[in-house]
Amino acid sequence: MKAVRLHRYEVRPVVEDVAEPVVTHPLDVVVRVGGAGLCRTDLHIVEGQWAPKSNVALPYTLGHENAGWVHAVGSAVEHLKPGDAVILHPLVTCGFCRACRAGDDVHCEAQAFPGIDSDGGMAELIKTSARSVVKLRPGVEPAAVAALADAGLTAYHAVKKALPLLHPGSTCVVTGAGGLGHLGIQCLRAMSATRIVVLDRNEEALALARGWGADETVVVDGSHVDRVLELTDGKGAEVVLDFVGERGAERDAWTMTRRAGSDFVIGYGGTVDVPTIDVISTERNVIGNLVGSYNDLVELMALAADGRVEMLTHTYPLDAVNDAMDDLEAGRLRGRGILVPATSGG
């Protein structure tokens, strides 16, 4: 089968033939990929940022946002059958550790993360576990929702964690209206009554943000922090959702939080550098976010099926992975890039 393989860091991946994955465990599920999302994390992986964290052996297959159709199942899988349209939770989890039993499978003690530390779904087939598979409602096309498996899930998870802080009359600042941010805006609108203030460098992205539910939009132009402080009577926002996390956005996010406010770090690549006296004197929080639980994904797919969260996508053939990476890196890609194998089809 065809797969996008990373052979060396700092060198773009190549599409090549590899062996098809097969069922070897009773709970295995092999999925024919209908769409695999391209994430900025994939660029960071190529750059080598994840090497010391994932310890993955090269070469391996990229792709951690995947949806498609069940191709084969293990002997213990009773709730899925070949042909079922599905989206995949990005983690493969054990089900037995304390975190899994508490529904916090994001922190499974024995997890694998296909596309990060093992072979992912930028391929014609991917192997996962029955615990990671969510059935799609009839009529939902896998390629249309594939990136909800991580981009949407991460945004939903962060918003869900922030909800207790976002009472009516509160302000939530969203930094970045791109692949993750545009989904976070919609989740906020669907789940809260907070005032949503969206920041982005791109006027086109801000125009789209207003359609997704933003109450205010602010161009990132050097005066944007002052503008947010003006909108909040000089106090700052109860919550900042930073979907950028680099190039100064991580510094601005902290500056825009009010006393007892919370800076949710979602995008990454930069460094959060905060004097400890500022943390204790204002009781502000820095909160990390990594994907979300299986139940979070189920809930997100319910919102998507009801039309309350929609994803802006642009599709590319699997062979055009580096064209897609070029578009993402250059800022030409609005929303999320989706790689579609030639063998895709229900």
pLDDT band at 149 (very low <50, low <70, confident <90, very high): very high
| Strands of the sheet with 216-219, listed across from one edge | 216-219, 195-200, 171-175, 237-242, 257-265, 285-288
Q: Is the pLDDT of residue 210 over 60?
A: yes
Same fold, 2-150+292-340 and 153-288: no
| Strands of the sheet with 2-6, listed across from one edge | 14-17, 2-6, 60-61
Q: Is the pLDDT of residue 288 over 70?
A: yes
d(CA 92, CA 81): 19
Q: Please determine, looking at this structure, whether the domain spanning 153-288 carries the CATH number 1.20.1730.10.
A: no
Q: What are the C-alpha distances in Å from 11 to residues 6, 228, 271?
A: 8, 40, 25
Q: What are the C-alpha distances in Å from 336 to residues 115, 137, 196?
A: 17, 21, 22
pLDDT band at 344 (very low <50, low <70, confident <90, very high): confident
Q: What pLDDT sits at residue 343? A: 86
User: Cα 91–161–140 angle (5° rounding)?
Assistant: 55
Task: Please state which CATH class domain 2-150+292-340 belongs to.
Answer: alpha beta
Considering only the C-alpha atoms of the chain, give the largest distance between any 2 of them, rounded to a whole number of Å: 61
Q: Is the pLDDT of residue 151 over 60?
A: yes
Which pTM value belongs to this model? 0.93
Q: What pLDDT sits at residue 148? A: 96
Q: Is the pLDDT of residue 345 over 80?
A: no
| pLDDT (tens digit per residue) in 7-58 | 999 999 999 999 999 999 999 999 999 999 999 999 999 999 999 999 999 9
Cis before 59 (ω within 30): yes
What are the residue boundaries of the structural domains of the chain, listed by start?
Answer: 2-150+292-340, 153-288
